[in-house]
Structure 1
Amino acid sequence: MTEPLYKTVIGTLIDRIISGELVPGAMLPSEHDLGTELGVSQGTARKALEELERRGIIKRRQGVGSFVAVRTPENAMFQFFRLRNPDGTQAIPDLAEEAVSSRNAAACEAGQLSGAPEKVHEIVRVRTIGGARLIYEKSVVPAVLFPGLDQRAPLPNALYALYQQAFRIAIVRAEESIRAIAADQETASALGCAVSRPVMRVERKAFDIADRCVELRSSFYVTDHHAYGISLS
Protein backbone atom coordinates (compact mmCIF):
# COMPACT_ATOMS: atom_id res chain seq x y z
CA MET A 1 0.00 0.00 0.00
CA THR A 2 1.41 3.37 -1.02
CA GLU A 3 2.02 5.81 1.84
CA PRO A 4 -0.04 9.03 1.63
CA LEU A 5 2.05 11.91 0.30
CA TYR A 6 1.54 14.07 3.37
CA LYS A 7 3.10 11.33 5.52
CA THR A 8 6.11 11.31 3.22
CA VAL A 9 6.45 15.06 3.82
CA ILE A 10 6.16 14.49 7.58
CA GLY A 11 8.87 11.82 7.45
CA THR A 12 11.19 14.10 5.50
CA LEU A 13 10.82 16.95 7.98
CA ILE A 14 11.24 14.67 11.00
CA ASP A 15 14.44 13.26 9.48
CA ARG A 16 15.77 16.81 9.05
CA ILE A 17 14.98 17.66 12.67
CA ILE A 18 16.61 14.48 14.01
CA SER A 19 19.72 15.02 11.87
CA GLY A 20 20.10 18.58 13.12
CA GLU A 21 19.48 20.14 9.72
CA LEU A 22 16.46 21.82 11.30
CA VAL A 23 17.36 22.85 14.85
CA PRO A 24 14.90 23.88 17.59
CA GLY A 25 13.46 27.26 16.72
CA ALA A 26 14.39 27.00 13.04
CA MET A 27 11.88 28.30 10.51
CA LEU A 28 10.49 25.73 8.07
CA PRO A 29 9.91 26.42 4.37
CA SER A 30 6.51 27.85 3.49
CA GLU A 31 3.76 25.53 2.31
CA HIS A 32 4.40 26.68 -1.26
CA ASP A 33 8.17 26.24 -1.08
CA LEU A 34 7.89 22.90 0.70
CA GLY A 35 5.48 21.61 -1.90
CA THR A 36 7.74 22.74 -4.74
CA GLU A 37 10.84 21.21 -3.17
CA LEU A 38 9.21 17.84 -2.46
CA GLY A 39 7.03 17.66 -5.56
CA VAL A 40 3.68 17.73 -3.77
CA SER A 41 0.75 20.12 -3.79
CA GLN A 42 0.53 23.06 -1.42
CA GLY A 43 -2.49 21.38 0.17
CA THR A 44 -0.46 18.25 0.88
CA ALA A 45 2.30 20.34 2.45
CA ARG A 46 -0.28 22.17 4.54
CA LYS A 47 -1.76 18.89 5.81
CA ALA A 48 1.70 17.68 6.81
CA LEU A 49 2.44 20.88 8.73
CA GLU A 50 -0.94 20.75 10.46
CA GLU A 51 -0.23 17.20 11.62
CA LEU A 52 3.23 18.13 12.87
CA GLU A 53 1.69 21.01 14.81
CA ARG A 54 -0.97 18.72 16.31
CA ARG A 55 1.80 16.40 17.51
CA GLY A 56 3.70 19.27 19.12
CA ILE A 57 6.70 18.95 16.79
CA ILE A 58 6.35 22.40 15.23
CA LYS A 59 4.68 25.67 16.15
CA ARG A 60 2.84 27.76 13.57
CA ARG A 61 2.50 31.53 13.86
CA GLN A 62 -0.23 33.13 11.83
CA GLY A 63 1.23 35.40 9.20
CA VAL A 64 4.80 34.51 10.15
CA GLY A 65 5.47 30.84 9.43
CA SER A 66 6.20 27.45 10.98
CA PHE A 67 9.04 26.74 13.42
CA VAL A 68 10.56 23.67 15.04
CA ALA A 69 9.16 23.57 18.57
CA VAL A 70 11.57 24.46 21.35
CA ARG A 71 11.36 22.48 24.57
CA THR A 72 12.09 24.87 27.43
CA PRO A 73 12.32 23.95 31.12
CA GLU A 74 9.05 25.81 31.69
CA ASN A 75 6.92 24.17 29.01
CA ALA A 76 8.47 20.75 29.64
CA MET A 77 7.54 21.04 33.30
CA PHE A 78 4.03 22.21 32.48
CA GLN A 79 3.37 19.43 29.98
CA PHE A 80 4.94 16.42 31.67
CA PHE A 81 5.03 17.07 35.44
CA ARG A 82 1.52 16.40 36.70
CA LEU A 83 1.58 16.86 40.48
CA ARG A 84 -0.87 19.52 41.61
CA ASN A 85 -1.25 21.55 44.78
CA PRO A 86 -4.48 21.37 46.81
CA ASP A 87 -5.77 24.50 45.03
CA GLY A 88 -5.18 22.88 41.61
CA THR A 89 -2.11 24.88 40.67
CA GLN A 90 0.97 23.10 39.41
CA ALA A 91 3.45 22.01 42.04
CA ILE A 92 7.06 22.94 41.27
CA PRO A 93 9.62 20.37 42.48
CA ASP A 94 13.17 21.00 43.62
CA LEU A 95 15.98 18.51 43.09
CA ALA A 96 17.29 17.14 46.40
CA GLU A 97 19.43 14.16 45.37
CA GLU A 98 20.66 12.72 42.08
CA ALA A 99 22.79 9.84 40.86
CA VAL A 100 23.60 9.22 37.18
CA SER A 101 25.24 5.99 36.03
CA SER A 102 25.72 3.74 33.01
CA ARG A 103 25.03 0.01 33.00
CA ASN A 104 23.91 -2.91 30.89
CA ALA A 105 20.25 -2.78 29.91
CA ALA A 106 17.91 -5.25 31.57
CA ALA A 107 16.04 -7.48 29.14
CA CYS A 108 12.73 -5.74 29.89
CA GLU A 109 14.33 -2.35 29.21
CA ALA A 110 15.95 -3.42 25.95
CA GLY A 111 12.61 -4.85 24.86
CA GLN A 112 10.85 -1.50 25.27
CA LEU A 113 13.46 1.12 24.38
CA SER A 114 14.14 2.06 20.77
CA GLY A 115 16.90 0.03 19.13
CA ALA A 116 16.99 -2.61 21.91
CA PRO A 117 20.09 -0.98 23.45
CA GLU A 118 22.78 -3.00 25.19
CA LYS A 119 23.78 -0.06 27.40
CA VAL A 120 21.62 2.50 29.19
CA HIS A 121 22.07 5.55 31.37
CA GLU A 122 20.09 5.52 34.61
CA ILE A 123 19.08 8.72 36.40
CA VAL A 124 17.91 8.30 40.00
CA ARG A 125 16.44 11.36 41.67
CA VAL A 126 14.70 12.49 44.83
CA ARG A 127 12.68 15.67 44.48
CA THR A 128 11.04 17.83 47.09
CA ILE A 129 8.09 20.20 47.20
CA GLY A 130 8.12 22.78 49.96
CA GLY A 131 11.08 20.98 51.51
CA ALA A 132 9.24 17.63 51.82
CA ARG A 133 10.61 14.56 50.04
CA LEU A 134 7.64 13.63 47.88
CA ILE A 135 9.05 12.14 44.64
CA TYR A 136 11.48 9.30 43.98
CA GLU A 137 12.12 8.53 40.32
CA LYS A 138 14.29 6.41 38.05
CA SER A 139 14.74 7.28 34.39
CA VAL A 140 16.45 4.96 31.90
CA VAL A 141 17.54 6.06 28.41
CA PRO A 142 19.55 4.35 25.62
CA ALA A 143 23.23 5.25 25.97
CA VAL A 144 23.67 5.33 22.19
CA LEU A 145 21.10 8.15 21.86
CA PHE A 146 22.44 10.10 24.85
CA PRO A 147 26.25 9.89 24.59
CA GLY A 148 28.03 11.34 27.59
CA LEU A 149 24.88 11.94 29.62
CA ASP A 150 26.49 10.27 32.62
CA GLN A 151 29.25 12.90 32.51
CA ARG A 152 26.85 15.85 32.70
CA ALA A 153 25.72 15.56 36.33
CA PRO A 154 24.31 17.50 38.02
CA LEU A 155 21.48 17.57 35.50
CA PRO A 156 18.86 20.32 35.23
CA ASN A 157 15.50 19.99 36.94
CA ALA A 158 13.64 19.58 33.63
CA LEU A 159 15.30 16.69 31.79
CA TYR A 160 13.28 16.95 28.58
CA ALA A 161 14.66 20.41 27.79
CA LEU A 162 18.17 18.95 28.17
CA TYR A 163 17.29 15.99 25.94
CA GLN A 164 16.38 18.34 23.09
CA GLN A 165 19.08 20.96 23.55
CA ALA A 166 22.00 18.58 24.07
CA PHE A 167 20.98 15.42 22.19
CA ARG A 168 18.33 16.52 19.65
CA ILE A 169 15.79 14.21 21.31
CA ALA A 170 12.46 16.04 21.55
CA ILE A 171 9.87 14.30 23.74
CA VAL A 172 6.40 14.92 22.34
CA ARG A 173 4.22 12.33 24.08
CA ALA A 174 4.19 9.81 26.89
CA GLU A 175 2.20 6.76 27.92
CA GLU A 176 1.65 6.21 31.64
CA SER A 177 0.18 3.60 33.93
CA ILE A 178 -0.67 4.49 37.54
CA ARG A 179 -1.04 2.23 40.58
CA ALA A 180 -1.24 2.63 44.34
CA ILE A 181 1.38 0.43 46.01
CA ALA A 182 3.11 -0.08 49.37
CA ALA A 183 6.57 1.47 49.54
CA ASP A 184 9.40 -1.07 49.58
CA GLN A 185 12.59 -0.56 51.56
CA GLU A 186 14.39 1.30 48.76
CA THR A 187 11.51 3.71 48.11
CA ALA A 188 10.85 4.27 51.81
CA SER A 189 14.52 5.07 52.41
CA ALA A 190 14.60 7.55 49.51
CA LEU A 191 11.41 9.31 50.61
CA GLY A 192 12.10 9.13 54.34
CA CYS A 193 8.87 7.31 55.07
CA ALA A 194 7.85 4.00 56.62
CA VAL A 195 8.08 0.75 54.71
CA SER A 196 4.65 -0.28 53.37
CA ARG A 197 3.45 3.31 53.38
CA PRO A 198 0.97 3.88 50.52
CA VAL A 199 2.55 5.68 47.57
CA MET A 200 1.52 6.25 43.96
CA ARG A 201 3.67 4.61 41.29
CA VAL A 202 3.65 6.04 37.76
CA GLU A 203 5.31 4.03 34.97
CA ARG A 204 6.06 6.17 31.90
CA LYS A 205 7.20 5.46 28.36
CA ALA A 206 8.31 8.68 26.64
CA PHE A 207 8.39 8.99 22.84
CA ASP A 208 10.27 11.40 20.58
CA ILE A 209 9.25 13.01 17.30
CA ALA A 210 10.09 9.82 15.37
CA ASP A 211 7.76 7.92 17.74
CA ARG A 212 10.69 6.04 19.28
CA CYS A 213 10.47 5.04 22.92
CA VAL A 214 13.54 6.84 24.28
CA GLU A 215 12.90 6.89 28.03
CA LEU A 216 11.44 4.59 30.66
CA ARG A 217 10.64 6.31 33.94
CA SER A 218 9.32 4.93 37.25
CA SER A 219 8.15 7.61 39.67
CA PHE A 220 6.93 7.14 43.24
CA TYR A 221 4.85 9.92 44.80
CA VAL A 222 3.67 10.74 48.30
CA THR A 223 0.28 12.32 47.68
CA ASP A 224 -1.10 13.18 51.12
CA HIS A 225 -1.49 16.82 50.12
CA HIS A 226 -1.09 16.69 46.34
CA ALA A 227 -2.91 15.08 43.42
CA TYR A 228 -1.77 13.74 40.05
CA GLY A 229 -3.67 15.95 37.62
CA ILE A 230 -4.67 14.84 34.14
CA SER A 231 -6.68 16.80 31.56
CA LEU A 232 -8.84 14.74 29.21
CA SER A 233 -10.38 15.92 25.93
Structure 2
Amino acid sequence: MDQANLMTEPLYKAVIGTVIDRIVSGELVPGAMLPSEYDLGAELGVSQGTARKALEELERRGIIKRRQGVGSFVAVRTPENALFQFFRLRNPDGTQAIPGLAEETVTSRKATASEAGQLSDAPERVHEIVRVRTIDGARLIYEKSVVPAVLFPGLAERAPLPNALYALYQQAFRIAIVRADESIRAVAADQETASALGIVETRPVMRVERKAFDIADRCVELRLSFYVTDHHAYGISLA
Protein backbone atom coordinates (compact mmCIF):
# COMPACT_ATOMS: atom_id res chain seq x y z
CA MET A 1 0.00 0.00 0.00
CA ASP A 2 1.59 3.29 -1.09
CA GLN A 3 1.54 6.79 0.34
CA ALA A 4 -1.23 7.84 -2.08
CA ASN A 5 -3.57 5.31 -0.53
CA LEU A 6 -2.65 6.58 2.92
CA MET A 7 -4.13 9.93 1.89
CA THR A 8 -7.43 8.61 0.50
CA GLU A 9 -8.84 6.55 3.39
CA PRO A 10 -8.93 6.79 7.20
CA LEU A 11 -5.32 6.78 8.31
CA TYR A 12 -5.54 3.88 10.75
CA LYS A 13 -7.22 1.70 8.08
CA ALA A 14 -4.41 2.54 5.67
CA VAL A 15 -1.88 1.46 8.29
CA ILE A 16 -3.81 -1.80 8.74
CA GLY A 17 -3.73 -2.34 4.98
CA THR A 18 0.01 -1.74 4.85
CA VAL A 19 0.71 -4.29 7.60
CA ILE A 20 -1.59 -6.86 5.98
CA ASP A 21 0.09 -6.33 2.60
CA ARG A 22 3.47 -7.05 4.19
CA ILE A 23 2.21 -10.23 5.83
CA VAL A 24 0.56 -11.49 2.63
CA SER A 25 3.71 -10.77 0.60
CA GLY A 26 5.86 -12.69 3.07
CA GLU A 27 7.81 -9.62 4.15
CA LEU A 28 6.42 -10.22 7.65
CA VAL A 29 6.28 -13.94 8.42
CA PRO A 30 4.38 -15.63 11.28
CA GLY A 31 6.13 -14.76 14.53
CA ALA A 32 7.92 -11.72 13.07
CA MET A 33 8.11 -8.62 15.24
CA LEU A 34 6.44 -5.48 13.93
CA PRO A 35 7.89 -1.99 14.24
CA SER A 36 6.91 -0.12 17.38
CA GLU A 37 3.96 2.27 17.32
CA TYR A 38 6.40 5.17 17.12
CA ASP A 39 8.51 3.65 14.34
CA LEU A 40 5.50 2.50 12.32
CA GLY A 41 3.92 5.94 12.59
CA ALA A 42 7.13 7.68 11.58
CA GLU A 43 7.62 5.36 8.60
CA LEU A 44 4.09 5.90 7.28
CA GLY A 45 3.77 9.56 8.19
CA VAL A 46 1.00 9.14 10.78
CA SER A 47 0.79 9.86 14.48
CA GLN A 48 1.76 7.33 17.11
CA GLY A 49 -1.89 7.29 18.21
CA THR A 50 -3.02 6.34 14.70
CA ALA A 51 -0.46 3.55 14.56
CA ARG A 52 -1.63 2.34 17.98
CA LYS A 53 -5.25 2.25 16.83
CA ALA A 54 -4.26 0.20 13.79
CA LEU A 55 -2.31 -2.30 15.86
CA GLU A 56 -5.16 -2.63 18.34
CA GLU A 57 -7.55 -3.45 15.49
CA LEU A 58 -5.10 -5.97 14.02
CA GLU A 59 -4.89 -7.62 17.43
CA ARG A 60 -8.69 -7.70 17.73
CA ARG A 61 -8.88 -9.51 14.39
CA GLY A 62 -6.33 -12.07 15.55
CA ILE A 63 -3.76 -11.03 12.93
CA ILE A 64 -1.11 -9.93 15.44
CA LYS A 65 -0.35 -10.59 19.09
CA ARG A 66 0.83 -7.84 21.41
CA ARG A 67 3.05 -8.55 24.40
CA GLN A 68 3.11 -5.89 27.07
CA GLY A 69 6.56 -4.35 27.32
CA VAL A 70 7.89 -6.45 24.43
CA GLY A 71 6.13 -5.51 21.20
CA SER A 72 3.74 -6.72 18.51
CA PHE A 73 4.18 -9.94 16.53
CA VAL A 74 2.49 -11.57 13.55
CA ALA A 75 0.19 -14.21 15.02
CA VAL A 76 1.28 -17.82 14.68
CA ARG A 77 -1.46 -20.37 14.02
CA THR A 78 -0.48 -23.40 16.12
CA PRO A 79 -2.32 -26.75 16.00
CA GLU A 80 -3.73 -26.03 19.44
CA ASN A 81 -5.12 -22.54 18.91
CA ALA A 82 -6.34 -23.35 15.40
CA LEU A 83 -8.25 -26.35 16.71
CA PHE A 84 -9.77 -24.65 19.73
CA GLN A 85 -10.71 -21.46 17.87
CA PHE A 86 -12.53 -23.10 14.98
CA PHE A 87 -13.68 -26.52 16.23
CA ARG A 88 -16.94 -25.91 18.06
CA LEU A 89 -18.18 -29.23 19.42
CA ARG A 90 -18.53 -29.29 23.20
CA ASN A 91 -18.89 -32.21 25.59
CA PRO A 92 -22.00 -32.48 27.80
CA ASP A 93 -20.12 -30.72 30.62
CA GLY A 94 -19.24 -27.80 28.31
CA THR A 95 -15.57 -28.68 27.84
CA GLN A 96 -13.87 -28.69 24.45
CA ALA A 97 -14.34 -31.92 22.50
CA ILE A 98 -11.10 -33.13 20.89
CA PRO A 99 -11.51 -34.66 17.43
CA GLY A 100 -9.57 -37.58 16.05
CA LEU A 101 -9.19 -38.61 12.42
CA ALA A 102 -10.66 -41.89 11.17
CA GLU A 103 -10.46 -41.47 7.38
CA GLU A 104 -9.14 -38.93 4.90
CA THR A 105 -8.87 -38.51 1.15
CA VAL A 106 -7.26 -35.54 -0.63
CA THR A 107 -7.85 -35.05 -4.34
CA SER A 108 -7.27 -32.34 -6.93
CA ARG A 109 -9.99 -31.58 -9.47
CA LYS A 110 -11.69 -28.89 -11.54
CA ALA A 111 -13.67 -26.37 -9.50
CA THR A 112 -17.42 -26.37 -9.85
CA ALA A 113 -19.14 -23.17 -10.93
CA SER A 114 -20.42 -22.66 -7.39
CA GLU A 115 -16.95 -23.12 -5.87
CA ALA A 116 -15.32 -20.79 -8.38
CA GLY A 117 -17.99 -18.19 -7.64
CA GLN A 118 -17.38 -18.27 -3.90
CA LEU A 119 -13.62 -18.75 -3.60
CA SER A 120 -11.23 -15.83 -4.08
CA ASP A 121 -10.17 -15.12 -7.68
CA ALA A 122 -12.49 -17.83 -9.12
CA PRO A 123 -9.94 -20.67 -9.26
CA GLU A 124 -10.08 -23.19 -12.10
CA ARG A 125 -8.85 -26.05 -9.93
CA VAL A 126 -9.26 -26.94 -6.26
CA HIS A 127 -8.06 -29.45 -3.69
CA GLU A 128 -10.85 -31.35 -1.92
CA ILE A 129 -10.22 -32.78 1.56
CA VAL A 130 -12.79 -35.33 2.73
CA ARG A 131 -12.57 -36.45 6.34
CA VAL A 132 -14.38 -38.59 8.87
CA ARG A 133 -13.58 -37.39 12.37
CA THR A 134 -14.19 -39.01 15.71
CA ILE A 135 -14.85 -37.99 19.29
CA ASP A 136 -13.75 -40.58 21.86
CA GLY A 137 -13.61 -43.14 19.07
CA ALA A 138 -17.16 -42.52 17.76
CA ARG A 139 -17.57 -41.41 14.13
CA LEU A 140 -19.43 -38.12 14.59
CA ILE A 141 -18.24 -35.70 11.86
CA TYR A 142 -18.17 -35.98 8.08
CA GLU A 143 -16.62 -32.98 6.36
CA LYS A 144 -15.52 -31.77 2.95
CA SER A 145 -13.11 -28.84 2.61
CA VAL A 146 -12.31 -27.20 -0.73
CA VAL A 147 -9.40 -24.79 -1.25
CA PRO A 148 -7.95 -23.10 -4.38
CA ALA A 149 -5.14 -25.20 -5.85
CA VAL A 150 -3.20 -22.08 -6.85
CA LEU A 151 -2.94 -20.95 -3.21
CA PHE A 152 -2.13 -24.44 -1.87
CA PRO A 153 0.33 -25.98 -4.36
CA GLY A 154 1.19 -29.60 -3.65
CA LEU A 155 -1.39 -30.00 -0.89
CA ALA A 156 -2.59 -33.38 -2.16
CA GLU A 157 0.96 -34.73 -2.00
CA ARG A 158 1.15 -33.86 1.71
CA ALA A 159 -1.51 -36.38 2.74
CA PRO A 160 -2.10 -37.59 5.37
CA LEU A 161 -2.72 -34.07 6.65
CA PRO A 162 -2.48 -32.97 10.29
CA ASN A 163 -5.54 -32.76 12.51
CA ALA A 164 -5.55 -28.94 12.56
CA LEU A 165 -5.68 -27.83 8.91
CA TYR A 166 -5.50 -24.11 9.63
CA ALA A 167 -2.11 -24.47 11.30
CA LEU A 168 -0.90 -26.29 8.17
CA TYR A 169 -2.35 -23.57 5.93
CA GLN A 170 -0.28 -20.91 7.68
CA GLN A 171 2.91 -22.85 8.29
CA ALA A 172 3.19 -24.41 4.82
CA PHE A 173 1.36 -21.94 2.56
CA ARG A 174 1.38 -18.61 4.46
CA ILE A 175 -2.44 -18.58 4.48
CA ALA A 176 -3.65 -17.43 7.90
CA ILE A 177 -7.35 -17.99 8.58
CA VAL A 178 -8.68 -15.21 10.81
CA ARG A 179 -12.45 -15.55 10.51
CA ALA A 180 -15.17 -17.85 9.26
CA ASP A 181 -18.81 -17.32 8.36
CA GLU A 182 -21.09 -20.28 9.04
CA SER A 183 -24.68 -21.26 8.40
CA ILE A 184 -26.18 -24.08 10.46
CA ARG A 185 -29.34 -26.14 10.07
CA ALA A 186 -30.71 -29.57 10.91
CA VAL A 187 -31.09 -32.04 8.02
CA ALA A 188 -31.69 -35.74 7.44
CA ALA A 189 -28.49 -37.66 6.68
CA ASP A 190 -28.20 -38.60 3.03
CA GLN A 191 -26.80 -41.92 1.85
CA GLU A 192 -23.22 -40.64 1.55
CA THR A 193 -23.15 -39.11 5.03
CA ALA A 194 -24.88 -42.08 6.62
CA SER A 195 -22.40 -44.48 5.07
CA ALA A 196 -19.40 -42.42 6.17
CA LEU A 197 -20.60 -42.14 9.78
CA GLY A 198 -22.14 -45.58 10.10
CA ILE A 199 -25.64 -44.31 10.88
CA VAL A 200 -29.02 -44.99 9.35
CA GLU A 201 -30.06 -42.87 6.40
CA THR A 202 -32.44 -39.97 7.25
CA ARG A 203 -31.11 -39.78 10.82
CA PRO A 204 -31.07 -36.12 11.96
CA VAL A 205 -27.64 -34.48 11.71
CA MET A 206 -26.42 -30.92 11.97
CA ARG A 207 -25.24 -29.38 8.68
CA VAL A 208 -22.63 -26.61 8.97
CA GLU A 209 -21.56 -24.67 5.89
CA ARG A 210 -18.44 -22.54 6.34
CA LYS A 211 -16.61 -19.91 4.36
CA ALA A 212 -13.15 -19.20 5.80
CA PHE A 213 -11.28 -15.96 5.15
CA ASP A 214 -7.60 -15.07 5.44
CA ILE A 215 -5.98 -11.86 6.62
CA ALA A 216 -6.50 -10.23 3.22
CA ASP A 217 -10.24 -11.01 3.53
CA ARG A 218 -10.05 -13.56 0.73
CA CYS A 219 -12.39 -16.54 0.84
CA VAL A 220 -9.82 -19.37 0.75
CA GLU A 221 -11.80 -22.36 2.01
CA LEU A 222 -15.30 -23.75 1.65
CA ARG A 223 -16.20 -26.42 4.19
CA LEU A 224 -19.33 -28.52 4.51
CA SER A 225 -19.64 -30.58 7.69
CA PHE A 226 -22.24 -32.95 9.08
CA TYR A 227 -22.32 -33.60 12.82
CA VAL A 228 -24.02 -36.24 14.93
CA THR A 229 -24.85 -34.28 18.08
CA ASP A 230 -26.75 -36.74 20.26
CA HIS A 231 -24.32 -36.14 23.14
CA HIS A 232 -22.53 -32.95 22.06
CA ALA A 233 -23.42 -29.32 21.43
CA TYR A 234 -22.14 -26.82 18.90
CA GLY A 235 -20.85 -24.02 21.12
CA ILE A 236 -20.63 -20.38 20.05
CA SER A 237 -19.59 -17.40 22.18
CA LEU A 238 -21.27 -14.09 21.35
CA ALA A 239 -19.78 -10.75 22.37
Same fold (TM over 0.5): yes
Instruction: Look up the SS of the partner of 1:138 in the other structure.
Output: strand
2:203 partner amino acid = R
Question: Given the alignment of the two structures, is residue 129 of structure 1 paired with residue 130 of structure 2, yes or no?
Answer: no
CA-CA distance at 1:41 after TM superposition = 1.2
- C-alpha separation in 1, matches of 2:73 and 2:84: 20
Q: Does 1:112 align with 2:118?
A: yes
Aligned ranges 1:207-222 → 2 under 5 Å: 207-222=213-228
Runs of 4+ in structure 1 over 3 Å off: none
Q: Does residue 233 of structure 2 align to residue 232 of structure 1? A: no
2:64 corresponds to: 58
Aligned to 2:38: 32
Matched letter for residue 22 of structure 1? L
Give 1:2 deviation, angstroms: 2.5
Question: Residue 77 of structure 2 aligns with which residue?
Answer: 71
Residues 156-202 of structure 1: CA distance to partner in whole angstroms, max 9, x if unpaired? 00000000000000000000000100000100000001110110000
Q: Which amino acid aligns with 2:185?
A: R
Unaligned stretches of 5+ residues in structure 2: 1-6
Q: Does 1:98 align with 2:104?
A: yes
Q: Deviations over 1:129-182 (max 9, x none)?
A: 111100000000011111111110000000000000000000000000001000
Q: Give the C-alpha shift of residue 81 in structure 1.
A: 0.1
Taking structure 2 as the reference length, what is the TM-score of the superposition? 0.96
- Cα distance in 2, alignment partners of residues 89 and 9 from structure 1: 38
The answer for the alignment partner of 2:86 in structure 1 is 80
Q: What is the root-mean-square deviation in Å for CA atoms of aligned residues?
A: 0.9
Amino acid at match of 1:6: Y
Amino acid at match of 1:136: Y
Paired letter, 1:82: R
2:147 is matched with which residue? 141
Question: Displacement of 1:43 after TM fit?
Answer: 1.2
**Aligned counterparts of 1:176 and 1:118: Cα–Cα separation in 2:** 24
Q: CA deviation at 1:20?
A: 1.1
Aligned with 2:157 (options 151, 154, 162): 151
Percent identity between the two aligned chains: 89
- Residue 44 of structure 1 deviates from its aligned partner by 1.2
Q: Report Cα offsets for 1:69-121 as digits up to 9, x if no partner.
A: 01001001111000000000010010110000011111111111000111000
Unmatched 5+ stretches in structure 1: none
Task: Give me the whole-angstrom Cα distance separating, in 2, the residues matched to 1:13 and 1:190.
Answer: 43
